[in-house]
Amino acid sequence: MFNKSLVKTPIPEQDPKARAGNFSEVALGYTDEQAISEASRCIGCKHKPCVAGCPVEVDIPAFVLKLAAGDPAAAYEIIRSNNALPAMCGRVCPQETQCEVLCVRGKKGDPVAVGRLERYAADWAMARPRLEMAHAAPNGIKVAVIGSGPAGLTCAGELACMGYDVTIFEAFHKPGGVLVYGIPEFRLPKAIVTYEIDGLLAQGVKLASNCVIGRSMSVDELFSDGFRAVFIGSGAGLPTFMKIPGENFNGVYSANEFLTRINLMRAFAEDGDTPIMRARRVAVVGGGNVAMDAARCALRLPGVAHVTIVYRRSEREMPARIEEIHHAQEEGIDFQLLTNPVELLGDEKGWVSAMACVRMELSEPDDSGRRRPVPIQGSRFEIEADCVIMAIGSSPNPLIRQTTPDLQVNKWGCVVADEATGRTEKKGVYAGGDAVTGAATVILAMGAGRAAANSIHQDILAGLI
Amino acid sequence: MYDIIEAMRYNPAVKRLTVNAPMVARRARPGQFVMLRVNDAGERIPLTIAHSDPESGAITIIFQEVGKTTAMLGALDVGDRLLDVVGPLGIPSHLDGMKKVCVIGGGLGCAIAYPQAKALFDMGAEVDMIAGFRNRDLIFMEEEMRAASSRLTVCTDDGSNGNRALVTDILKEYLEQGRAYDTIIAIGPLVMMKYVCLTAKPYDLPVIVSMNPIMVDGTGMCGCCRVTVDGQVKFACVDGPDFDGYKVDYDEAMRRNQMYIQQEERDMAAHRCQGEGQNHV
C-alpha cells in the first residue's frame, strides 16, 4: 500500500551518548517492516530521475518497488547488477546530493530513503548464502588493477564478470584502501568490506598485497609481465598540511595518519600494538567527511574530554554530508565555524599545546562558487589542544607518476584520464577515482572503476591494446 | 608469508635476519627500506635493507631490540615467518660518480651504512669507513665493514676496544690530514649526524644523512615521517630517507622520535612480563 507520509522512515541509531564511547556502527538499519513501509513511499515514476543521479546507474525504482513488495532477494539482485558494493554505498554514498535530491517525493517533503533501503537489501543478502554472480567464461587475458579501494574493487569485479584474469595490487597488508584505513568502523563496519572483497576473490580475482606499484614494481613491468591493461586506482593518499608554524610539533597528525592508526592498525583496541597518543583535548581542522571521521574517532578514544572542529567557512559550505555533521553534533563535538588556524603553539618539550585561530567572515564567491572566507582583523584567540588533526584534503600519491614517465599528470599530481572512459594518454593504462579527481567520494570512484572496466573490455575487443 | 631462512645474533641487542622476500629483493638498492609486520596485531615498522640477493630472493635486515615489535622480531628464528614485508621503499642512495667517500656509521647505523660502503667499494671508490659504538660488546659487522672499505676505524665511547673516540674525532683527524672526500655519508643517531655536519662544515664537504623517523605506511600516505629540510617539510619515506645533512632540522627530528616513547616503554614492560609469565608455565 502506498505510503503517503511526507517524512522518511527514521532509521534506528545508537544513542549519541552511548556511541560516543564505542566504535560500533551508529545506524542500526531498518527492520523488515520499516523497509517495506519506506519503500512504499516510492511512486515508481516512469522517468526515474533518481537513476540519473547515481554514478553507477542503479535502477532505483525497480529495486525499491521489489522491497515494497517484500522481495529483498530480487531487490538485491537488481542493485548488484550495477553496483558491486551495495552494502557500502547504502552507508557512505552522499545520497542527498545524488539520487535522493532528484526524487519526486522530495519536492514536497522528504525524498525516498534510497540509501537506507539499499543498505537494507544488502544487509539482508549478506545474512544469507552468497549470491552467485553471472560470470563469462574465463578468457585468460590478464588485467592489473592498482589499488584495492572502491575504484579498484569495482573495476576488478566488473572485469572478472567479463571473464578477465584480474590481479589487484595493494600496497598495504590488507585490501580495501580508504574503506579500511580511512572510513571508521562506526560508519562502515570492516566486516562488510571483508565480505565484499571475499566475494571478489571467490569470483577468481587475485590479490597481491604488500606490493607498492612504483616501488616494488613499475607500471611498465606489469606490461612486460603479461598484463594487457592496467587500471590505476591508487587514490589520493598524500596528506596536505596547512604550512602554518608549529605543524611539526608532537601531537599534530594528518587525518590520514590518525585514521590509519585507528582503523587499519586498530590502535584503539587492546590487542593492537600500534600506538596512538593519549590526548585530552583534540582540535580537528577541516569541514569534510574526513574531518568528521577524525573528530568522531578522537571522541571515542579513552581519555579524550573535548573535541573541536575548526572550519574556516560556515556550516552551509561544509563539504561533509549533512548526516555526518548532524551525528558529530549529536555526539557533542564542538564546532568552531568561520574560524581559521594561523599557528600551532607548543610547550618546551615540543608538544602542541594550543591552536591560535582567527575568526573569519564570508565575502564574494571564489572559484569554487563558495563565498570566500576572509580574516577579521584583531580576532585572534587560542583553543587549548594537546592533539591537532589536519583534515584539509589529500592529493594523489607520487610513486606511480614518478616511475611512469609517459603518464600525464596535472599540476596537482592527478593522473590525466578521460572522466567518461578512464582512458589515459598511455596505451593500455586507465585510471579513475581519487587518483584522477583528487579526494572525492566512494561512489564516484566506483563509477570511474566501472567505466574503465568497460573501456578496457571495448579496447581489447577492438584490438587496440 | 615471508620465511626466515637465516637468523644470527651479533650481540645481546642486535640481530640479523635473512628473509625470503623475492618481490623486494628483485629491485632493492642501497639506502632503501622495508616495512614489516610480525603478526596480525602488530605495528608496521621500517627497517633498512642491509643486503639483498635478487637471485635467491632473500633480503637481510639488521635491528636492535628497542621496543615490543623489535623484541618480538628478535625472538624469531629460522623456520618462523614474518606476516608482511613491503618494499623496497624510499629513494635509493645516489652513489653514482663518487670516487672518494667517508662512510660513517654509529651503532645500529653501521648496519645501514654498510650496504652503502659496500656498493661504493664494489664500484671502485675509495671508502674510508668510521664505525662508532658505545662499547666493545656492541661492536658488530666489523669483518664485513673491513671487507667493504679501503680503511676501517672502529672506535668506542668508553675506549673498551682500545680506541676511545667519537666518530667525529676520527673524522676531524682525517679531514685535518687533508683527505679530500667527494662526499661524507653519515648514518646513526640524530645527534651523531648533526655533529658530523658541524665537523665537516669548515671543510665545505657535502654530507648525506639517512633519516629514520617513525612511520606508519612508508609510502607517503600518513605524513608521520615528516622532517624539515631547508625549511621545507619532506616525507622521509617518499622524499628520502637520504637528505643533505646540512639542511636537516635535527632538533625537531629528535623531538618527533620521542612521540610514543612512554607508550613504547609501557608496551615493552608488558611484553617482558608476558614473556616471564610464559617461562614459569
> Model confidence over A317-328: pLDDT tens digits?
999 999 999 999
- In this model, does residue B120 exceed pLDDT 80? yes
A149 vs chain B: nearest CA distance in angstroms? 14
Q: What pLDDT is attached to residue B13?
A: 82
Judged against a pLDDT cut of 70, whether residue B280 lies above it is answered with: no
Residue from the list A173, A254, A261 with its beta carbon closest to the beta carbon of B37: A173
Q: What is the pLDDT of residues B159-187, one digit of tens each?
A: 999 999 999 999 999 999 999 899 999 99
Nearest to A215 among B69, B88, B224 (CB): B88
What is this structure's pTM?
Answer: 0.92
Q: What's the confidence (pLDDT) of residue B281? A: 31
Is the Cβ pair B89, A215 closer than 8 Å?
Answer: yes
pLDDT tier for residue A216 given thresholds of 50, 70 and 90: very high
Q: What SS3 state is found at A416? A: coil
Q: Does residue B278 register a pLDDT over 70?
A: no
Q: Tell me: the pLDDT tens digits for A334-362?
A: 999 999 999 999 999 999 999 999 999 99
Structure confidence by residue, pLDDT tens digits, A431-449: 999 999 998 888 899 999 9
Q: How far apart are CA A376 and CA A362, in angstroms?
A: 10
Q: Map grid coordinates 582512458 to a residue.
A: A423
Question: What's at A22, amino acid-wise?
Answer: N
Q: No. of H helices and E strands in chain A?
A: 17, 16
- Report the residue from A216, A275, A350 with minimal CB separation from B87: A216
A chain contacts of residue B85, beta-carbon cutoff 8 Å = 210
Distances (CA, A) of A133 to A200, B37, B110: 10, 35, 55
* Model confidence at A271: pLDDT above 80: no
Identity of the amino acid at A111: P
- What spatial distance separates the first Cα and last Cα of chain B, rounded to whole Å? 29
Comparing alpha-carbon positions, the chain A residue that sits nearest to B90 is A215
Helices in A30-113 by DSSP H: which ranges?
32-39, 49-52, 60-68, 72-82, 86-92
pLDDT on residue A253? 96
Task: Fill in the amino acid letter for B166.
Answer: L
Angle among Cα B244, B248, B253 to the nearest 5 degrees reads 140
Average pLDDT over residues A213-239: 95
d(CA B70, CA B268): 10
Query: Rounded to whole angstroms, what are the CA distances from B34 to A37, A171, B37, B72, B100?
Result: 54, 12, 10, 17, 29
Confidence of residue B273 (pLDDT cuts 50, 70, 90): low
Check residue B124 and give its pLDDT.
96
**Mean pLDDT over residues A175-204, rounded?**
93
Q: Residue range A139-160: average pLDDT?
A: 96
- Give the span between the Cα atoms of A138 and A143, in whole angstroms: 12
Q: With a cut of 70, say whether residue B216 has pLDDT above it.
A: yes
Q: For an interface test with B, give the residue of A170, A174, A211, A212 to mutate (most B CBs within 10 A).
A: A212
Averaged confidence pLDDT in chain A: 94
Average pLDDT over residues B124-143: 95
pLDDT tier at B279, thresholds 50, 70, 90: very low
CB B52 within 8 A of CB B27: no
Statement: residue B256 has pLDDT above 70: yes
Judge: A397–B219 Cβ closer than 8 Å, yes or no.
Answer: yes
For residue B260, pLDDT beyond 70: yes
Could you tell me what percent of chain A has a pLDDT over 90? 84
Chain A environment of B43 (Cβ under 8 Å): 265, 272-275
- pLDDT band for B272, please (50, 70, 90 cuts): low
Q: What is the pLDDT confidence band of residue A59, given thresholds at 50, 70 and 90? A: very high
What lies within 8 Å, CB to CB, of B117 at 6+ separation is: B101, B103, B127, B129, B145, B148, B149, B185
Say if residue A270's pLDDT is above 80: no
> DSSP state, B147?
H
Per-residue pLDDT at A381 exceeds 70: yes
Residues A9-33: what's their mean pLDDT? Answer: 94
